[in-house]
Amino acid sequence: MVTRQDEVTQGEFNPWLRVVSLIESAGKLLGLDPDLVQRIVAPERVLEVSIPVRMDNGGVQMFTGWRIQHDTARGPGKGGIRFHQTVNEDEIAALSGDMSIKCAVVNIPYGGAKGGVRVDPTKLSRAELERLTRRYAFSIAPIIGADRDIPAPDINTDTQIMSWIMDTVSMLRGYNTPGVVTGKPLSIGGTLGHAGATSLGVTICTTALLRHLNRPADLESVIIQGYGKVGAPLVKFLTERGIRVVGVADVRGAIHVPEGIDAAKLAEHFAATGTVMGFAGATEVPSEDFFTIPSTIAIPAALGGVIDAHVAETMSANIIIEAANGPTTGEGAEVLNRRGIIAVPDVLANAGGVVASYFEWAQDIQGYMWETDLFMQRLEKTMNDAFEHVWKRHQELQVPLRETAIAVGVERIAEATEVRGLFP
């Protein structure tokens, strides 16, 4: 993991150093003891594992995986597992730190963790993917569990991956362990309402911000970068609340429909073609120009680090809602602040997913499934309460929403750390 001493030689965006900087800045803003801040910064546990996988051709290929537990002062670690060819330790460490803050911001009893495997899953057969998943689950099994660390889906992982992990851990322990992961199918302890929860949380934060700014929803225009598990439901949710979605991007390019995109028709088109490109009535836009599309709200819902200084300088929107994890670089955030662009940070905006995971975990422990209406009511209340608290602190601290949300999370982690003391 890159350290603070390495920062001057780091030639490109490093997400871990970005998280360290945010936590340290929050500590200064809150007047916390520097020693306490360093306790919060340092990950509690970093596990790197080698994953040998028997390939379909009979050979063995090696992969590398991680599970990092950043802070568990407030409860068990919580965070997704991603399978991607660019995954590295710094990325996983940064995401685990984000999870610590995110869980504290929405005030659920979790700490932060994250996992990943450096692999391109599109190049694996289903059988190879299962063997990879089960061997990775076997390797991290000693440090995960319903009372220790609860993984969930992330990029390129889904309900099937979670099922294989849950089954592997259950076989190792000799009893059923539904609470070891969240994001599972209903048949093995999943929950009603989990699908689309992150997108709903983003929508709730968007409408809450507009309410505080006295901006009518029907006068807003939104662009969404990413049309996957988060971006696709967002088009529907925002449209249902009267907000016009005028642009969408996926890995193949971007489209612009000034009068607004029909969510159902776009979903139908994507199901048939696998891309938003070629959507009837849309103008195609180069991916590098996506954020210049005329709009009032921009929602990055893809990978991290996409809002750099150049993008922040040229974007059309005056509000950003961060649906992706870590989409804005430090330089990008500085430009947004200078331009007066309001950013609802990822640790608040996309926390609907972890809130839903918390609900699933609670139901697994209780052995009782909630009705969908109850699930949705509690999700909306939790997200609204979190936004209102951050907004109140924003007015008190007189700093941008990003710094405010980080401060709220760090403040709650610091309180738990101090109350628990230092052992031995």
Residues belonging to the active site: 114
Nearest to 302 by CA among 291, 317, 315: 291
Q: How far apart are CA 204 and CA 238, in angstroms?
A: 9
Two structure tokens written together for 43:
């990950």
Nearest to 38 by CA among 22, 24, 52: 24
Instruction: For 14-30, give the secondary structure using H, E and C.
Output: CHHHHHHHHHHHHHHHH
Two structure tokens written together for 400:
């941008």
Query: Cβ–Cβ contacts within 10 Å for residue 4, how many?
Result: 12
Contact 349, 326 (CB under 8 A): no
Nearest to 248 by CA among 259, 232, 236, 265: 232
> Would you call 316 helix, strand, or coil by DSSP?
coil
Phi, psi of 220 (to 5 degrees): -95, 155
